């Protein structure tokens, strides 16, 4: 029996979830699975056999990007790490290896940013109009590519350093919005999605880096992450989850502030929805007022807006799948207030099952393990009535701890619904492996909430009168 003032500790280990690759063959590691079997879409109608890349940049930056991509697509050996273990070899990106996709190189799909155009942007002294001109310049080049006969499937933004050096980040005062902070990457993502072609920024410091260069990842790691993202954005499926319940819709709820500082109480809700195969959608929900000085730092929806947001997601799910989900799982990083929970549940009355789960990183509680390594990824433990899950930690399948910092668990702070907590934790663990924008083994957060800040930062750049593209690939 625990003594007064102490909490009983219980722990169990959840086995590493599997992923599915070509021919439905399985492995726990994305890199190993693709290298051995090929991506999940190989041999199906979803598999792109050719990806046409378009390029926007200066003559030099585009040449460097094209040369690097063609070189790395042949495959490269993994570099040696400081621990003495080699990184995984990158198997290539060609029709006979790796992702089994051809990557033709064509001068026809290049739009050059000239030195005259860069100089014209530089001549604008004020930060606001100069930033706007830089965005408009790139936008025009992407528009031209999108209107070609046989347009590219994906556009590489090989932006020249001469343009980035004075437009990467800006801060200025706007008479309507107040103090405004803007980031070129986020603004371009928001602006360019209207052309309906995904984009990928590729910097010269990445493609021109020498082996061992500081502040640049090893070439094999860059290649794995970049080509996995390109493949996904062009319509391929790198891997699929194994074990998520059929006909379940996984939803992450987050909130963001509008652009500027004049209205500190306005918030916009965002839903990130994923099906059991890992395909994701982004939906902008209703605006609402939240006074953090009065109500606390974490926004919450009232019943009406929670109901409205959930019905929006369900309508989109039906439109995409032609059916209702059998179950809905909602993730957010703060506890569900009673009014908020009632609103979500009212929208789910016709859904067979649901689970509302609050999950967030915490550093207040940690396990200490005997030996050299930290706790195992997949360790689920409880201290009293509170549950914690290690989604980072030592990974037996890799015989390594790849994160380089003391791992902190996720706290499963709140749960209302039908599933057992162990099943909820197993789903979270699997959803940490569903980031198709990278070939990393897993992240700390489930994909439902991992990109919430990134999506919110991009969403605030999209005007209220313009409907954002729902496909997740336009935000990464």
According to DSSP, the residues that pair with 154 across neighbouring strands are 53
Task: Kindly state whether residue 394 falls inside one of the protein's structural domains.
Answer: yes
Q: How far is CA 90 from CA 94, 224, 435, in A?
A: 12, 6, 18
- In this structure, are 253 and 227 located in the same domain? no
Q: How far apart are CA 301 and CA 287, in angstroms?
A: 10
Say yes or no: 271 and 212 in one domain. Answer: no
For residues 273 and 309, the answer to whether their CB atoms sit within 8 Å is: no
Residue 37 has pLDDT above 80, yes or no: yes
Query: Is 222 part of any domain?
Result: yes
* 8 A C-beta contact, residue 281 and residue 320: yes
Say if residue 103 is in the same domain as residue 200. Answer: yes
Residue 107: phi and psi, rounded to 5, are -70, -15
pLDDT confidence of 80, banded at 50, 70, 90? confident
Asked if 174 and 197 sit in the same domain, the reply is: yes
Same domain, residue pair 204 and 271: no
Is the alpha carbon torsion for 209, 214, 216, 220 positive or negative? positive
In degrees rounded to 5, what are phi and psi of residue 81? -90, 170
Indicate if 226 and 315 belong to the same structural domain. Answer: no
CATH number for 40: 3.40.50.2300
pLDDT in tens, 425-447: 999 999 999 999 999 999 999 99
Q: Indicate the SS3 state at residue 468.
A: coil
Are residues 187 and 275 both part of a single domain?
Answer: no
In a domain, 266, yes or no: yes
Distances (CA, A) of 206 to 118, 126, 159, 217, 448: 21, 30, 12, 8, 29
pLDDT digits (tens, 9 = 90+) for 112-168: 999 999 999 999 999 999 999 999 999 999 999 999 999 999 999 999 999 998 899
pLDDT band at 1 (very low <50, low <70, confident <90, very high): very low
Q: CA-based Rg of the chain, rounded to a whole angstrom?
A: 23
What percent of the chain lies above the pLDDT cut of 70? 98
Cα angle value 293/361/242 (rounded, 5°) = 130
* One domain, residues 272 and 361: yes
- The band of 81, judged by pLDDT with boundaries at 50, 70 and 90, is confident
State how far the alpha carbon of 221 is from the alpha carbons of 107, 214, 438, 441, in Å. Answer: 28, 14, 10, 12
Q: Are 323 and 359 in contact (CB under 8 A)?
A: no
Q: Are residues 181 and 287 in the same domain?
A: no
Residue 5 resides in a domain:
no
Domain count, the chain: 2
Q: Look at residue 369 and tell me whether its pLDDT is greater than 90.
A: no
Same domain, 102 and 249: no
Q: Are residues 214 and 269 in the same domain?
A: no
- Return d(Cα 263, Cα 269) in angstroms, integer: 16
Task: Collect all residues with Cβ–Cβ distance below 8 Å to 136 and sequence separation of at least 6.
Answer: none
Residue 186, domain member (yes or no): yes
Which of 213, 233, 253 is a domain's end point? Answer: 233
Residue 2 confidence (pLDDT) above 60: no
3-state SS track over 174-239:
ECCCEEEEEEHHHHHHHHHHHHCCCEEECCHHHHCCCCCCCCCCCHHHHHHHHHHHHHHHCCCCCC
DSSP-derived 3-state class of residue 48: coil
**Percent of the chain's residues with pLDDT above 90:** 74
Per the domain annotation, does 417 fall within a domain? yes
Whether 82 is covered by a domain: the verdict is yes
Look up residue 454 and give its two tokens: 């990134």
The mean pLDDT value of the chain amounts to 92
The residues, any chain, with a CB within 8 Å of residue 93's CB and separated by 6 or more, are 72, 73, 99, 101, 103, 227, 230, 231
| Residue finishing a domain among 176, 201, 233 | 233
Q: What band does 176 get if pLDDT is binned at 50, 70 and 90? A: confident
End-to-end CA separation in angstroms for the chain:
50
Q: Which residue has the higher pLDDT, 65 or 399?
A: 65
d(CA 65, CA 71): 10
Sign of CA dihedral 354, 358, 361, 363: negative
Strands 410-417 and 178-183: unpaired
Contact 386, 11 (CB under 8 A): no
Give the domain range for residue 392.
Answer: 10-16+243-474
pLDDT band at 5 (very low <50, low <70, confident <90, very high): low
Range from 28-32, 81-85, 94-98, 147-151 carrying the lowest mean pLDDT: 81-85
Q: Tokens for 1, please give them.
A: 């029996």
Identify whether the C-beta of residue 430 lies closer than 8 Å to the C-beta of residue 241. yes
The CATH number given to whatever domain includes residue 268 is 3.30.420.10
| Contact indicator for 286, 269 with CB cutoff of 8 Å | yes
Q: Is the pLDDT of residue 232 over 80?
A: yes
Which of 199, 233, 267 is where one domain is finished? 233
Give the span between the Cα atoms of 387 and 163, in whole angstroms: 49
Are 50 and 109 in a shared domain?
Answer: yes
Helix (H) or strand (E) holding 170: strand 169-174
- The residue with greater pLDDT, 390 or 403, is 390
Domain membership of residue 293 (yes or no) is yes
């Amino acid at each position: 029996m625990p003594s007064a003032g102490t909490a009983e500790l219980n722990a169990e280990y959840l086995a590493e979830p599997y992923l599915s690759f070509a021919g439905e063959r399985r492995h726990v590691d994305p890199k190993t699975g693709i290298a051995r079997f090929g991506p999940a879409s190989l041999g199906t109608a979803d598999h792109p056999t050719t990806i046409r890349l378009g390029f926007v940049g200066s003559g030099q930056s585009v040449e460097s990007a094209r040369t690097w991509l063609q070189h790395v697509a042949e495959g490269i050996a993994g570099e040696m790490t400081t621990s003495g273990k080699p990184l995984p070899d990158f198997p290539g990106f060609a029709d006979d290896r790796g992702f089994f996709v051809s990557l033709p190189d064509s001068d026809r799909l290049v739009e050059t940013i000239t030195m005259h155009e860069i100089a014209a942007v530089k001549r604008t002294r004020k930060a606001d109009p100069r930033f706007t001109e830089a965005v408009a310049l790139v936008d025009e080049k992407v528009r031209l590519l999108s209107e070609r006969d046989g347009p590219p499937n994906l556009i590489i933004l090989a932006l020249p350093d001469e343009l980035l050096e004075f437009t990467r980040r800006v801060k200025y005062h706007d008479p309507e919005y107040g103090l405004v902070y803007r980031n070129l990457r986020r603004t371009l993502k928001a602006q360019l999605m209207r052309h309906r072609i995904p984009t990928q920024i590729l910097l010269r410091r990445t493609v021109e880096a020498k082996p061992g260069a500081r502040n640049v990842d090893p070439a094999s790691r860059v290649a794995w992450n970049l080509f996995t993202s390109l493949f996904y954005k062009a319509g391929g499926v790198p891997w699929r989850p194994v074990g998520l319940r059929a006909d379940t819709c996984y939803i992450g709820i987050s909130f963001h502030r509008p652009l500027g500082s004049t209205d500190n109480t306005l918030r916009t809700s965002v839903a990130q929805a994923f099906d059991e195969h890992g395909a994701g959608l982004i939906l902008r929900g209703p605006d609402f007022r939240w006074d953090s000085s009065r109500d606390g730092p974490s926004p919450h929806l009232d019943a009406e807006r929670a109901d409205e947001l959930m019905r929006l997601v369900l309508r989109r799910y039906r439109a995409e799948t032609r059916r209702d989900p059998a179950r809905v799982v909602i993730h957010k990083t703060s506890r569900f207030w009673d009014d908020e929970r009632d609103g979500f549940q009212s929208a789910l009355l016709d859904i067979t099952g649901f689970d509302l789960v609050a999950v967030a990183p915490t550093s207040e509680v940690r396990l200490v393990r005997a030996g050299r390594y930290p706790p195992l990824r997949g360790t689920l433990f409880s201290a009293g009535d509170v549950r914690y899950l290690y989604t980072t930690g030592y990974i037996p399948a890799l015989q390594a701890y790849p994160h380089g910092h003391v791992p902190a668990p996720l706290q499963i702070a709140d749960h209302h619904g039908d599933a057992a907590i162990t099943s909820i934790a197993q789903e979270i663990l699997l959803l940490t492996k569903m980031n198709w924008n990278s070939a990393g083994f897993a992240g700390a957060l489930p994909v439902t909430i991992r990109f919430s800040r990134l999506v919110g930062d991009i969403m605030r750049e999209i005007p209220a009168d313009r409907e954002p593209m729902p496909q997740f690939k336009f935000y990464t």
